Amino acid sequence: MNAPLSRPLVDRFGRTVSYLRISVTDRCDFRCVYCMAEEMSFLPKREVLSFEEIETIAAAFVARGTTKLRLTGGEPLVRRDIMDLVRTLGGHLGKGLDELTLTTNGSQLAKNAEALARAGVRRINVSLDTLDAERFAAITRRGRLADVLSGIEAARGAGLELKINMVAMAGVNEDEIEPMMAWAHGQGMGLTLIEGMPLGEVGIDRVDTYLPLRELHDKLTRRYTLTRIDKRTGGPARYVHVSETSGILGFITPMSHNFCESCNRVRLTATGQLFLCLGQEDQVNLRDALRDGGMEGLDAALDRAMLIKPKGHDFVIDRAQPQPTLGRHMSMTGG
Ligand code: SAM
Ligand code: SF4
């Protein structure tokens, strides 16, 4: 039976917030060139929300109608004892919460896959930009492709449904889009392509590597039969079915297609800031609201948040504006 709903979270534009992404850590064992700088300074541990605080905030969201939680980061599986949090959050499944999922780089998946499945996780996203070991090492700066591939194997073995997320970059991995699609679809996994977003100072030139996915989509239609499908996962991707590979291909196109009008998401950082938009600064400090005002304070902060959720982002990738649109990295707001 569903938990009784108190006031649902509806913003000024009538959009209902039903999806919370939680960044459980800003740390990561990789340094992907589009996501982080080589040298990153991470948050002191004392500034990071405790599991108890994350659980309280997540429970407040579920009580107000959130049906989907996604754990992300940084790399969620590098946070110590992360499975304790996953198990507790899994306790909300069927009691207001429909889905608990995570986005991972896969490096620690081999040892966690079974436990994730036991905690009620059914689907996960694994980020993988290439199947070439050297290229993988160059893009992630620290990662080993073999670890991720064995993580993917373990996750499939545990019965998890997998989707591969690939940041498509001109001159970097553009030539692998079709092979990746054949590989992923051949194993029953979806593939979603993501346009690089201008978040934080990183290790690549975003103008040179920017690959407009709308053009790529049109190019693919010359070789493949793409049928638009109305698959909604609660996220921003648009999906097509590819007849030749019998699989699903997703496009996340924040730069060339503005998906804000249907946005149902908010993001909690590891320090308890609730960001109302991936591409804007509007935020509410839920950690202070909870610490100073308890559950009532938290509830009031959620109401305030609904009043300031912006209409949309203003991402630009442009030679005339070489600085990132936002100073913060994706690893802070969790992608
Ligand atoms: N570490 C986990 C991972 O890599 O899956 C979770 C966090 S990561 C920030 C979430 C997603 O954001 C990944 O799929 C990653 O490829 C993507 N990402 C990171 N920086 C990005 C950027 N500047 N533009 C587009 N996608 C980005
Ligand atoms: Fe880490 Fe994920 Fe960012 Fe890569 S994309 S550096 S794996 S947080």
Q: Is residue 194 part of a domain?
A: yes
Q: What is the pLDDT of residue 322?
A: 46
pTM higher than 0.75:
yes
pLDDT tens digits along 1-52: 444 457 899 999 999 999 999 999 999 999 999 899 899 899 998 899 999 9
pLDDT tens digits along 184-198: 999 999 999 998 876
User: Quick check: 237 and 192 in contact, CB under 8 A?
Assistant: yes
Residues of the chain scoring pLDDT < 50: 1-4, 318-320, 322
Would you give the DSSP letter of residue 199?
A: B
Q: How far is the CA of 218 from the centre of ligand 1 (A)?
A: 25
Q: Does the CB atom of residue 73 touch ligand 2 within 6 A?
A: yes
Q: Is residue 268 part of a domain?
A: yes
Q: Does the CB atom of residue 33 touch ligand 2 within 6 A?
A: no
Structural domains of the chain, count: 1
Best residue among 25, 30, 108 to mutate for probing ligand 2, ranked by most atoms within 8 Å of CB: 30
Which residues constitute the domain of residue 161? 19-333
Q: Is residue 159 part of a domain?
A: yes
Q: Is residue 94 part of a domain?
A: yes
d(C-alpha 186, C-alpha 181), whole Å: 8
Q: Is residue 285 part of a domain?
A: yes
Q: What is the pLDDT of residue 197?
A: 76
Q: Is residue 277 part of a domain?
A: yes
Q: Is residue 10 part of a domain?
A: no
User: Quick check: 109 and 34 in contact, CB under 8 A?
Assistant: no
Q: Does the CB atom of residue 30 touch ligand 2 within 6 A?
A: yes
Domain CATH number, residue 63: 3.20.20.70
Ligand 1 contacts (CB < 6 A) are: 28, 34-35, 72-73, 75, 103-105, 127, 165, 167, 194, 196-197, 199, 330-331, 334-335
Q: Is residue 279 part of a domain?
A: yes
Residue whose C-alpha is closest to residue 109's, from 140, 66, 152: 152
**Beta bridge partner(s), residue 265:** 19
Q: How far is the CA of 27 from the centre of ligand 2 (A)?
A: 9
